[in-house]
Amino acid sequence: MTITSFSPTVARSKRKDKNLLMIELPEPLFLKALNKQAVSRPPVWMMRQAGRYLPEYRAVRSKITFETLCTTPDLAAEVTLQPVDLLGVDAAVIFSDILVILGAIGVPFYFDLEGGPRISQPIRSASDIDKLVPAEPPSKLAYVGEAIRKVDAILRPRSVPVIGFAGAPFTLAAYAIEGKTSREFAITRRFLIEQPEAFSKLLSHLAEAIIAHLHFQIKSGARAVQLFDTWGGIMSSPEYRQIVYPHTKHVITEIQKAGVPIILYMNGSTPHLNNMLETGADGLSVDWRMPLDQVRQIVGSAPVLQGNLDPTLLYSKPEVIERKTRKMITDHGVSKLIANLGHGILPDVPVEHARAFIDAVKNYS
């Protein structure tokens, strides 16, 4: 018997066919850990694992634009599968971009020559926000769902779950207002202070679009989702709590109603650990700046932690990577842990170094 594809719907409909061999698939390790079940070692994946550090990714990408790769389900599925096949990660995060939601609500973007995101017409006024359209994911972002279905059909029989994702309201608002990435996001922060009601309206609009897009990804086969509030850490903790947190929490609560676990990532997470904790997210994905065992002391025993090897540590020799990865797991403990980096894998990391990280987790005992 060869399994070439898998559909839960088909499997259920044929239950009465006595020639059908029913196989109970083991619960994926990633989901067991995220659901706080006992595991013998942490699952492992890497943010941006379908990315430029892989020669196989660069081969696909060399023929087409980033935009084409995002919007062509066969190709997005192909690169999503690469790190699973090549490195054996325990989950496949769908290849996409957090900015696709901006395009869907009427804020077009593109990538400049250096690969940096650019918003064609940044939001700068309340009237810009009034012009936004609601996101209709099944029509405008259908390609994301299609890519997820393709990947899930292949990986579900292998007990590897697909992770869907979206940018969080603040981070998407920051791109929409700033117009590009930034270290300080000074335009965004000025906007939120000078026009708090407009800013809040933007966050609300984004939150609904994010919820719709995540629900759509779940319906398409995503078995967990990650919400990236990558730049939320630029804010002070009390201001994040007052202005941003209600919208972040709203997204998380709505997704959990679908019975799907959600992980919240933040760069600059240390001052925001309590904000992150109180969102009730199932997993907290933290940056590399504070060791996981210290993070655990702050957040208590409730959440699963995800992280947090310094992405630049993957420039180290494989034996150093292995040692630091093992230390991270040992210091924190195996349970309620998903091994990952503290931010996305950098494009110039040698593949063998990424493999050393993955293998160190998989061989942990």
| Residue in 57, 90, 97, 245 annotated catalytic | 97
Q: Is 110 in the site for its own copies (CB under 8 A)?
A: no
Can you tell me the distance from the alpha carbon of 314 to that of 204, in angstroms, rounded to the nearest whole number? 38
Can you tell me the distance from the alpha carbon of 146 to that of 80, in angstroms, rounded to the nearest whole number? 13
- Identity of the residue, 28 or 311, whose beta carbon is nearer to its own copies in the bound complex: 311
Taking CB under 8 A as the rule, which mask of x and - marks residues 329-348 in contact with its own copies? Answer: -------------x---x-x
For residues 221 and 162, is the Cβ–Cβ distance under 8 A? yes
Q: Is 353 in the site for its own copies (CB under 8 A)?
A: no
Can you tell me the distance from the alpha carbon of 11 to that of 23, in angstroms, rounded to the nearest whole number? 10
Instruction: Clarify whether 175 is annotated catalytic.
Output: yes
- Identity of the residue, 140 or 180, whose beta carbon is nearer to its own copies in the bound complex: 180
For the chain, the first-to-last Cα distance in angstroms comes to 33
- Identity of the residue, 25 or 186, whose beta carbon is nearer to its own copies in the bound complex: 186
Among 7, 35, 236, 330, binds its own copies (CB under 8 A): 236
Among 150, 156, 189, 336, binds its own copies (CB under 8 A): 189
Query: b/e map of 273-291 (b: 16 or more CB within 10 Å)?
Result: bebbbebebbbbbbbbebb
Instruction: Clarify whether 97 is annotated catalytic.
Output: yes
| Residue in 61, 158, 323, 355 annotated catalytic | 61
- Tell me the closest approach of the beta carbon of residue 122 to its own copies, in angstroms: 17
Q: Is 111 in the site for its own copies (CB under 8 A)?
A: no
- Tell me the closest approach of the beta carbon of residue 211 to its own copies, in angstroms: 28
| Residue in 52, 124, 323, 326 annotated catalytic | 52
β-bridge partners, 163:
93, 224
* Segment contacting its own copies by CB under 8 A, of 44-52, 93-101, 213-221, 234-242: 234-242
DSSP letter (8 states) at residue 241: I
For residues 49 and 93, is the Cβ–Cβ distance under 8 A? yes
- Tell me the closest approach of the beta carbon of residue 189 to its own copies, in angstroms: 4
Q: Is 235 in the site for its own copies (CB under 8 A)?
A: yes
Residue positions counted in the chain: 365
- Identity of the residue, 80 or 325, whose beta carbon is nearer to its own copies in the bound complex: 325
For residues 102 and 129, is the Cβ–Cβ distance under 8 A? no
Q: Is 312 in the site for its own copies (CB under 8 A)?
A: yes
β-bridge partners, 285:
265, 306
* Residue 271, helix vs strand vs coil: helix
Can you tell me the distance from the alpha carbon of 358 to that of 87, in angstroms, rounded to the nearest whole number? 7
- CA 252, 255, 259, 264 torsion-angle sign: negative
Q: Which of residues 253-272 bind its own copies (CB under 8 A)?
A: 268, 270-272
Among 316, 326, 334, 351, binds its own copies (CB under 8 A): 316
Q: How many residues interact with its own copies (rule CB under 8 A)?
A: 31
Instruction: Clarify whether 58 is annotated catalytic.
Output: no
**Which of these, 236, 218, 237, lies nearest to 227 by C-alpha position?**
218
Instruction: Clarify whether 223 is annotated catalytic.
Output: no
Outline where 287-336 has alpha helix (H). 292-299, 318-332
Instruction: Clarify whether 296 is annotated catalytic.
Output: no
Q: Which residues are catalytic?
A: 48, 52, 61, 97, 175
Which residues here bind its own copies, judged by CB under 8 A?
Answer: 181-183, 186, 189-190, 193-194, 233, 235-239, 268, 270-272, 288-291, 294, 310, 312-313, 315-316, 342, 346, 348
